[in-house]
Amino acid sequence: MADPMKIRARMVGNVCDIKVLMAHPMETGLRKDSAGHVVPPHFIKTFTVALNGKMIVDGQAAQSVSRNPVFGFKVGGAKSGDKVTVTWIDNKGETRTDGADVG
């Protein structure tokens, strides 16, 4: 299982600012290791962000997103104490779901 995501959600005025760091190698499939072997692609393909169980962001990603992806989103209509849930699924079918409270 991949390492937990770091999720920070905080209110800035009446908008909730969400930052997510997903621990993932995001291998492109183009890189070679020190022995000269091509490292196979391994990257997050889809991810979702939900606020209190309602999906607010439905995302798709490619290998060209940086290693340990950091995404930032904003949502209106949130309040302190609301639950933010993030899920990702990678090209090997691995998945991870983590949550945080809006601060």
**Calpha distance 103→95 (Å, rounded):** 26
For residues 5 and 20, is the Cβ–Cβ distance under 8 A?
yes
The rounded distance, in Å, linking the Cα atoms of 82 and 64 is 32
Q: DSSP label at 84?
A: E
- Residue 50 binds another protein, judged by CB under 8 A: yes
Instruction: Tell me: does residue 42 bind another protein (CB under 8 A).
Output: no
Which of 5, 7, 9, 56 touches another protein by CB under 8 A?
Answer: 56
**Which of these, 69, 65, 83, lies nearest to 19 by C-alpha position?**
69
Among 23, 70, 101, 103, binds another protein (CB under 8 A): 70
Closer CB to another protein, 6 or 73, in the complex? 73
Q: Which residues bind another protein (CB under 8 A)?
A: 15, 28, 30-32, 45-46, 48-67, 69-78, 83, 85, 87, 89, 91, 93, 95-97, 99
